[in-house]
Structure formats: structure tokens, C-alpha cells
Structure 1
């Protein structure tokens, strides 16, 4: 059985229109949504996935790498705060709850705090700020977290550039207004510039004096 909160190797067991089920031989498997299935992968192929729970409390797999796994400590950003606690961005589609009882002090949106990721009594992923009690925890450096953030931001920018703007925007990372970047891509101008630099280095885009274009295979 695949472990909750961990990245692990497994196999694609069977395919459906909406995704594939992954796990070990003889298991029912866990859903990996179709958008997460790497191109060219099919039944019997090995794949690396992280397992968490979706909004309906069902186990689900992703090929995205989170900033932190169960048993690890890292400094993460607060996505939101409400009456049950703070929600921490771990780099996946769903944030992880940091209950009020696990806070060392009051938190606000966009604060960055050190947390430990664990599985609570309800078998859900949860975070705590009481990290010093976890002497055996693996500490993820801020550099590792930032590198992962830049990679995810680059993927997000590339996807939106293709899906929303048909591979072309009439401005560059040097000429665009910060408010326009936030409106179009949902990130800060600084994050946009880093992502554009990464995509340019990977030869996934080209930049003119007035625009940015996605490079497709036929353009290379």
C-alpha cells in the first residue's frame, strides 16, 4: 500500500478516461489524475508519485514534488487563516492545515514559518510549529524550498502562456506592469521574472523587445 505523505515509486496498474490508478501489484491502486500522467507512460510502467488526500478526503496521487514530506521540517508560506487554523502551501493543489493548537503564535496570510509535517489522528496530513519536539526530523533548507518554488512557478507560467494566451503575450518581463502580471499569471513581478529567466534558459520561450513567445517543437 502506498504511504500517505511520501514520494514513492510504484507502477501504473490500469487506465481510465480520467486518469490512471497507481500502486503495487495486486492492489486496487490510487488515482493519478489524467493531467498528472507523464506523456508516454502506460500500464506496467514505473512512476514516482506523492500521496495526499483531496478535498473529499480520498487518497490521491500526484507527480508534482511537494516542498515537504511527512517527517520533514521546512519554512513554508501561510496561504490563508480561518477559525480552524492556518493553511500552509506545500506546493500542491491542496494546502495543509496547521491547527490553532499547533501554533506557537498567531499567524497571518503570507507569513513564512517553520513547520513539521505529520499524519494526525484522523489520518490526514497536518502541520505543527512545535518543530523542536521532532529531533529526528529531516530539515529541508530554504534554498531547496525556493528552488522548488521557482520550478513550479515556471511550470505555471508556461501552462498559462499556452492555454490562456495561445503562446504569446505582448510584453516582456522588463516592460510589464506588476499589476498586469498579477492579473494574468497570479504571481508577483519578481516571481514572474525568475520564471521567465528559467524558461528562457531551458529554451521553452523566446523574447523580443516587445513580447514573449512559447517555443513549440516546430519552431525549434
Structure 2
């Protein structure tokens, strides 16, 4: 079965004047137009392609890599607002439509939005939506505290930043846990900080507990090497100074330099830390 909106590994069946016809083994075929045909193709060989509907609503294959696939989220730019909705650039010739009914707020030409891509069961078309909560659920997940996860920053709130976790769940990074500049659309690695009784998920952008010592200490060690073996920071430095230079909380910084000191990698003086 050929799945629209996703990558498919298909067999090259035959070459024609318009391109290659690819098959899924169940009798379904799709055209890969000439402009996407690789020079070194072979009949009966497997080829990975992305499948969607072209401007004539026909299934088509491409070797281009779209910026979003079915059942996922991405930060995309509006290239046109028409009578049916907003059309977003997702890296393919045919733009992704976000109908007016699927816009959480009216989209504007040239602006970027976090959207979800899904297959509309009524029209059988790939469709975008900025009504993100429809596609996120914090029920039945198997996440645990300290798990490392993929994040997409989706919204700024008075408490911090809402993030989409693993294209499935909604989480929050509190403003007090942010020590480097971030923005809507950023794709980050994060860590599950806590899971509340109501299944709300708090996320940290830094490793938690024991896990944080090694990468944070390594980062400071490399910073020292890059800076000639000296940083004008120490355990008496203000949280603001530490955040500005290293994007770390003071607590994380003190733990990391403590670990480096125990390993005899650094010396801590009144004016800063020095590599040994």
C-alpha cells in the first residue's frame, strides 16, 4: 500500500517518456516524474520516495524531502492566502493548504506558523492545521522522568514556552528553566522534568540530576579551552553573569565546576576558573 504524505520504499517497475513507474507489490503504481529520476536507477531496484497528490489531485512521487510529513508538526511559512485558506511552503512544488476552518488564528502572507499535517478523510488530501491541540494528547503515554525527547517550540505563554514532545504530546518549559535564547519553531532536545497527576508534562532543556553533570562539565571544559584556559566566573558569580556567558543556571554551573574540580581539571580562584 502506498501511503500519501509519507516516505515509501517502492520498486522501479518500468521507465517511460514521462518518468519511472513505481509499485508497492500489491498492484498499486505511482509516477516519479523525469525531473526526480536518479541517474543510476535500475529496474526492479527499490527506491525511497515521498508520495502526495499533485496539482491535478493525482498521486505522484518525488525524491524531494518535504519539511513536514503526515501526522507530524513543523514551522512553515505562508506563501499565499487564497479563497480556500493559506498555502504554506513545505519544500514541494504544490503548497500545503491550511483551510480557514483549520486556522487557530487568521494566517497572514509571509508569516510562519507551527502546523500539523494530516490526511483529510473527506477529501483524501494532505491538509495543514494550526489548531494544534486537536492532534496532541497526554493520555496513555509511556514517558518517564529524565527521558531525553525531541521538542518543537510551539507557543509563548506567561509561564514559559509550550513545546510539542515527539510529535505527540504537549509540554511546558518554565521561563525559569530557560538559560539560552529560544523561539517559536525551534527544534530542540529536552528532558522530562516532571509528570503531574493531571498528566501535564514539565520539560527541561538541560539534563536532570546526575545526568546533567557530565555534559555540562564537558561544555564548561571546552569553553575554557576555547577561551585560553580561563573564564571570569566562579561560585560567587551572579546567576545573571552565568546565564549570559554559559546559558546555565547557577545551580548547574556550581555542580559542573565542582565535578571538574574533583577531577583536578580546573582551579577555582577569586577572579574565575582556570584550566590545570
Q: Determine if the TM-score, normalized by the shorter chain, exceeds 0.5.
A: yes
Q: Which residue of 1 aligns with 2:167?
A: 139
**Mapped contact 2:78–2:112 kept (Cα < 8 A):** yes
Q: How many residues align?
A: 144
Provide TM-score, normalisation by structure 1. 0.61
**Greater RCO (CA < 8 Å, at least 6 residues apart):** 1
* SS of residue paired to 1:39: coil
**Mapped contact 1:15–1:42 kept (Cα < 8 A):** no
Does residue 7 in structure 1 map to residue 12 in structure 2? no
Shift of 1:125: 0.6
Larger Rg: 2
Q: Which residue of 1 aligns with 2:77?
A: 77
**Mapped contact 2:2–2:28 kept (Cα < 8 A):** no
CA displacement, residues 184-213 of structure 1 (integer Å, 9 cap, x when unaligned): xxxxxxxxxxxxxxxxxxxxxxxxxxxxxx
Shift of 1:42: 2.3
Q: Which residue of 2 aligns with 1:125?
A: 126
Structure 2's unaligned 5+ residue stretches are 138-163, 169-184, 189-276
**Mapped contact 1:80–1:88 kept (Cα < 8 A):** yes
Structure 1's unaligned 5+ residue stretches are 145-220
**Mapped contact 2:76–2:115 kept (Cα < 8 A):** yes
Q: Which has the larger share of strand?
A: 2
Provide TM-score, normalisation by structure 2. 0.49
CA displacement, residues 25-69 of structure 1 (integer Å, 9 cap, x when unaligned): 252410000110111102111111000001110000001110000
Shift of 1:110: 1.1
